[in-house]
Amino acid sequence: MQLAEVSIRRPVLAVVMSLLILLIGAVSFDRLSVREYPKIDEPTVTVSVKYPGASAEVIETQVTKPLEDSIAGIDAVDVITSISRAEQSQITVRFRLEKDADTAAAEVRDRTSRVRNRLPQAIEEPVIAKVEADAFPVIWLAFSSETMNPLQINDLVNRIVKPRLQTVTGVADVRIYGERKYAMRVWLEPERLAAYKLTPSDVEDAIRRSNLELPAGRIESNKREFTVTSQTDLSRPGQFSDIVIKTVNGFPVKIRDVARVQEGAADVRSAVRLNGQYAISAGVIRQATANPLELSKGVREMMPRLEADLPPGITVSVANDNSVFIDRSIKSVFQTIVEAVILVALVIFVFLRTIRASIIPIITIPVSLIGTFAMMALAGFTINTLTLLALVLAIGLVVDDAIVVLENIYRHIEEGMDPFSAAIKGSREIGFAVVAMTLTLAAVFAPLSFTPGRTGKLFTEFALALAGSVIVSGFVALTLSPMMSSKLLRHNPNPGWFDRTMDRWLTNLSDGYARLLGWVLDKARWLVLLVMAGSALAIALIYPAMKQELAPLEDRGVLLATVTAPDGATLDYTDRYAKALERMGEGYSEFDRVFANIGNPTVAQGSVVYRAVDWEQRKKTTLEIARELTPKFNGLPGVNAFPITPPSLGQGFRERPVNFVIQTSDSYQNLNAVTRQMLDEI
């Protein structure tokens, strides 16, 4: 073949071509992003609207429904789901895979602005984000202090930490949990209000009139001008206490006469604890298609700067990081690649019996694998579990072409030809066979990339990475391998002990196989048919009884407990049961962090995250611990609590294997009754 012959006659050219493949592949590897799985997430956009004081029914009719009707007309919308809670509306729009996330967000933003005038004036401006409404943060940071109160910590987190974290690549939102915003609390005394014939509305109007921040203009002269700042806003409890509400019988009634004023939190509707200590937490939520590993790395790199900017006495801790398992799994696959290369190299050496001959196919492995990274970068792929799995499988495939070329050339050398002539003749004889082998293997895996839906997205990178590595190995087998064969292979008339022993063993193995095959073909053909029939019968009997699942359960090093209290429960009620869940987790030495988040998304809901120590330092898996905790959680009266192990394939904690949607055009009471019947049946 012409390419192989040119490489043999121009060895420097063959070496330079392989070095070029290595160089481009190494540069591509450095620039490829790393993630757990390929980008299989559908573009998701969320519209969040807050309407203070509104009930769930008002939110549904006046906010959620108009927005849903407007958004439904966008192209490529797959599913629209909405949750109307008291004071809050959340609409999640999931698009089909082919839709660009940025385009989807822009179109949702446009449709939302169209109906803004039809929404109540008192609502806060809608927030559009490329993230699911109730998305679970990738990494949680907990801020605590022995010298500062929660109000001071929350103020620092809101002013310093949150803006910094929002600049990290891939961050869609930074949510503060256990929030305690500064507010001036006015505690009214009903008896005194009634005595002065006043109402809470009178107090509210008086505060609005007195607490203003108005532009005061500027003063100009011939040579100078000054900006006038009017300090009309109030900031201290005493100033609010001196506000005059109304004059009654010539006597000015002030707020101090009918109420008590003090600084405090705007509301206390959530609580966060890390290992039993109250804290303020910042949850970093990734964009729908962002890389969690890069996001976590960016947040951790930001932490030293945050600690430097925060005052002394504040402790910053990583309460939970869901990217730890992803990082470990990627490193584990890299380790598997190294082990596979070593094992393949040992097998090659055992059967080829000389170091010189073994080097030729072994060199093919790194060239082919590193060259695959260049093709992955060209196609826009990422380094993930599946593409690395493709490289593990490719290790055994990429050496085939080189071994075929090597064997054919070495056969001519043993017959008496010089290495150069043997390389020319051998590569000519086997060249088109190598091309056929390469294209056949590529044709086997490439069609996987045409599978539709999420499955196709999941395995496209796997199939094309594997096919690409085989194509690179075919090129190397036609350039570098024949050139190295002409330089390294030598006929050895006096083989050593190892060579003679392996040759004798392989000859005996071949002769034994020939005798067995001859006996089967002559006297025991019925045995082959009987084994085939027995195998088919065994498959027919065993296969239906085998468990079937999309992906096996994994110990991801974290366990989540959710707690749901009855409707109308207060934060204290829910928090009491969350503390019971925390105490159950503290009884396991496998957990080093117990992170409780109560009041999210409502005061009747909460979650407790149990973070396990490294896998090497514990004997029990999170799956085993979850089975042990389930009956304990079920024994808690008054709440619904259960442990959750994160599902596979990069899905979030809230993903479920089976989802039922119960719809009705009737009342919510009827819907609730049907739902109860279904739960009882389940």
Nearest in space to 125 (alpha carbons), one of 215, 207, 52: 52
Phi/psi at 187 (5° precision): -95, 105
**263's tokens:** 């600084």
Residue 27 burial (CB count, 10 A): 13
- Cβ atoms 144, 315 nearer than 8 A: yes
Instruction: In whole angstroms, give the CA distance from residue 100 to residue 192.
Output: 61
Instruction: In whole angstroms, give the CA distance from residue 52 to residue 40.
Output: 37
Phi-psi region of 86 (alpha: psi -120 to 50; beta: other; left: phi over 0): beta
Instruction: In whole angstroms, give the CA distance from residue 139 to residue 403.
Output: 48
- Cβ atoms 428, 4 nearer than 8 A: yes
Residues 322, 326, 327, 328, CA torsion sign: positive
- For 236, counting Cβ atoms within 10 Å of its Cβ (0-12 exposed, 13-18 middle, 19+ buried), the class is exposed
Phi/psi at 534 (5° precision): -65, -40
Residues 6+ away with beta carbon under 8 Å from 437: 400, 401, 404, 474
Side-chain half-sphere CA neighbours of 503 within 13 A: 9
Instruction: In whole angstroms, give the CA distance from residue 294 to residue 145.
Output: 29
Residues 6+ away with beta carbon under 8 Å from 618: 589, 590, 612
Residues 164, 169, 173, 179, CA torsion sign: negative
Q: Give the bridge partners for 45, in sequence order.
A: 93
Vertex 183, ends 180 and 188: CA angle to 5°?
A: 120
For tokens 């294209």, the residue is 439
Instruction: In whole angstroms, give the CA distance from residue 19 to residue 230.
Output: 72
CA torsion, ordered 508, 511, 517, 519, to nearest 10 deg: -100
Residues 6+ away with beta carbon under 8 Å from 95: 42, 43, 44, 45, 76, 77, 78, 101, 104
pLDDT in the model for residue 22: 93
- Please, what's the b/e burial string for 134-155 (b: 16 or more CB within 10 A of its CB; e: otherwise)? ebbbbbbbbbbbeebebbbbbe
Positions in the chain whose pLDDT score sits under 50: none
**179's tokens:** 């929030």
CA torsion, ordered 248, 253, 257, 262, to nearest 10 deg: 150
pLDDT in the model for residue 598: 92
CA torsion, ordered 646, 651, 653, 658, to nearest 10 deg: -90
- Residues across the chain: 682
SS3 state at 270: coil
Q: Which helix (H) or strand (E) holds 607?
A: strand 605-612
